[in-house]
Amino acid sequence: MVVGTYYVEEVHSVDKYESKAFDLYFSGCTLCVLDIETTGLAPETSHFVLGSLIEIKAGGEAHLKQYFAEGIAEERQLLAEYMGEASGYDVLLTYNGRRFDVPFLASRACGLDLDCPDMPYNFDLYQVLNGYTALRKLLPNLQQKTVEDFMGLWPYRKDTITGRESAMLYQKYLYLKEIYEDPAECMALMLLHNKDDVLQLSKLLPVLEKADLHKAMHNLGIPIASNGASLTAEKIRLEKNCLSVSGKQVKKPMDLVSYGQGGGDCTIRFEKKRSAFEVSFPLQKKSGLAIIDLRELPFDVCGSMEGSPGCDSGYLVASDSHGVNYRDVNSFIKAFLTNILQNYQDSREGSV
């Protein structure tokens, strides 16, 4: 372990989670586990004082970095370093991070007059469990520690404090420093609590076996990364006559425009200035099915859809009488957008 002015670095061993469903969405993406500690819940009156990042590499090596503010005056520099590091990944794994961690960081950056980098796709495990599993009906609550206990991970947790107690410990830490007493014990307890939160979260991914992950990703967004470029499909809508997808370009935004020929082809619009994109695909309605003709696209994605039960002879069934075909629609969207990144990411202005 190396302890510096601002951070701790450690390497741990974990079982890297893999499944066909998970790999469909996250293979090819760099993933980092994120968790923060603050002095309170409101970013307007509270401070970011501790944050952890874990990158899980091949072989199950979990590389942990912890960033600790030894005083409130160090928050600005620490926040810039922490957010800069986190923004380098394609995906952030968090627990309630869409409602708390990431918005808190962004708000503090704004309040401290920092240039806030575009943060990666936030895979919020709490939102998946809350909206797309039955666990909220089976467990007393969906707090991370409760889910850890349900998954048999409790014996791996060493810390004994809560997030609220961690915030109180930081105040004690500052007080002890002020009166020239040793605050090392307070810092050690906070670091252990934060470390256990991210390590345990990195081990919680098997709980996705309890979730309808394809429906969750359809509604929470899909990350796409290729050759250093990345984007997030944020809104996916099956409308009367088309499948439309819109979102943001995160890394290497570009300008790209393609309008359907004769009203029959897909339309593509990527705007570098807004870091945004929109694509739409015409739907054919036959016998209660909503179908996309993959053969009419600007490039071939049929090979990427091989083995998909909803795809046959160059046609994709987007929905039927049972509802949306979430898995195959998601797979198609990822394949199509990946093709765009691979073929046109160097474009500044152009058409296909």
Tell me the three state secondary structure of residue 290.
strand
Tens-binned pLDDT, residue by residue, of the chain (352 aa): 333 345 788 888 888 899 999 999 998 899 999 999 999 999 999 999 999 999 988 778 899 999 999 999 999 999 999 999 999 999 999 999 999 999 999 999 999 999 888 899 999 999 999 999 999 999 999 999 999 999 999 898 998 899 999 999 999 999 999 999 999 999 999 999 999 999 999 999 999 999 999 999 999 999 999 988 999 999 999 988 999 999 999 999 999 998 865 445 789 999 999 999 999 999 999 888 999 999 888 888 887 787 788 888 889 999 998 999 999 999 999 999 999 998 885 554 444 4
Per-residue DSSP letter, 190: H
* Cα 189 to chain centroid, rounded: 28
304-307 long-range contacts (CB < 8 A, ≥24 apart) are 304/331, 304/335, 304/338, 305/331, 305/332, 305/335
- Which contiguous run of DSSP H or E holds residue 26? helix 20-26
Reported pTM = 0.92
Concatenated DSSP letters of 73-124: GGHHHHHHHHHHHHTTSSEEEESSTTTTHHHHHHHHHHHTTPPPPPP-EEEE
